[in-house]
Chain A
Amino acid sequence: MTARLSVQGITHSYGKKPALNNVGFSLEKGSFCALLGPNGAGKSTLFSILTRLFVPDAGDVSVAGHSLSRAPGKALARIGVVFQQPPLDLDLTVRRNLKYFAALHGISGALADTRIKAVLERVSMSERMHEKVRALNGGHRRRMEIARALIHEPQVLLLDEPTVGLDAATRHAITGHVHDLADEQDLTVLWATHLVDEVRDSDRLIVLHRGVVLADGSAAGISDGMTLQSRFLEMTGAGE
């Protein structure tokens, strides 16, 4: 079976400074994978490569069998992205923002309206459809971002530190919600974070540090009897 998201030998550097060195992994349908790494580990660089904002020096990414370098249109159409900073137009309503994004994926008219209704229901925000984004709080904006990323029914959902700046309860709710999406919708999720409490024991975990994959496996397996927090600190040498 073809992997939903396959990353092979990605190497990237900013000038002489290496950011990623031979990073590779593949994710199957319906899997939730946490990409854990301290600040500066290369998570955002990897996300920029996965979304084709950067072209890597070496290696390739394929989404559901479509190479990002050879067939970018087909690959990008299957990816939903939630960025660290929500790229929403604050002066437009929730609906108009979603309409704009739907149009960028070639969805318009009645189909766009149906999809918008469905994704807002999925994140329990239907009643906010006609409010301006400026009036929403941080948690709602983030949920709307997730709704936006799902509007074109992607197969892979990429989230780059989606809980930054949110309180503990909202973080917990959003983490739970995305786990549900992976389970119920067979969505492949790659969740970048530096917060270990967002990772469940059953999740696939990739630890990235200084541009290199330090560990790849189940979260329970990697923590190996220790708490994930102390194992993570030990691996990244932060406790030294």
Chain B
Amino acid sequence: MKVALICLAAIVHREASRFISQRGRFLAAIVRPLVWLIVFAAGFRAALGLSIQPPYQTYITYEVYIVPGLCGMIQLYSGMQSSLSLVYDREMGSMRLLLTSPIPRWWLLFCKLFASTAISIFQVYTFLAIAALTGIDFSFSAYDAILPA
């Protein structure tokens, strides 16, 4: 059990340090939805939005309406980037290091997926924090509720 956790921590640390060293990737991942949120939403807000209908009690503006979709977009691109990092690992040979370690392969796969998910969630929260700074904020319970999602 301890061995499995050491392995998990090492893989998460490696993915995180790779992510930090690729600042361009992080920046692109955040800028893409922000452009949509700030530039496009400003244009569309007059024309689009969600009218008052259950379960909403008030009019939902377009920029609030689009936020969950943008979160999904961040996760989609982040997932694609992580898949590419697997290809990179395979080409560079570091996949062999993983495969020749005595840890079961299903656990190694879980570690990789866990690390990728953690990074994409971090990106989503960064995006939400910037969105909050521009005035599009939500209640604390809403931030809490998107974590398992």
Please give the residue numbers on chain A whose beta carbons come within 8 Å of chain B beta carbons, in ascending order. 51-53, 72-74, 76-77, 79, 81, 83, 85-89, 91-92, 99-101, 103-108
Contact = CB atoms under 8 A, between A and B. Distances in A.
Given A85-B93, A86-B93, A72 B100 contact: no
A83 B90 CA distance: 13
A188 B4 CA distance: 28
Given A89-B94, A104-B98, A105-B102, 16 more contacts: A52-B99, A72-B102, A73-B102, A74-B102, A81-B96, A87-B97, A92-B17, A99-B10, A100-B13, A103-B7, A103-B10, A104-B101, A104-B103, A106-B2, A106-B6, A107-B6
Contacts of A104: 7, 10, 97-98, 101, 103
B133 interface: no
Interface in B32-57: none
Contact of A76 (B92, B95, B102): B102
Contact of A79 (B9, B21, B100): B100
A87 B94 contact: yes
A39 B92 CA distance: 22
A83 B93 contact: yes
B3 interface: yes
A99 B95 CA distance: 16
A72 B105 CA distance: 11
A108 B6 contact: yes
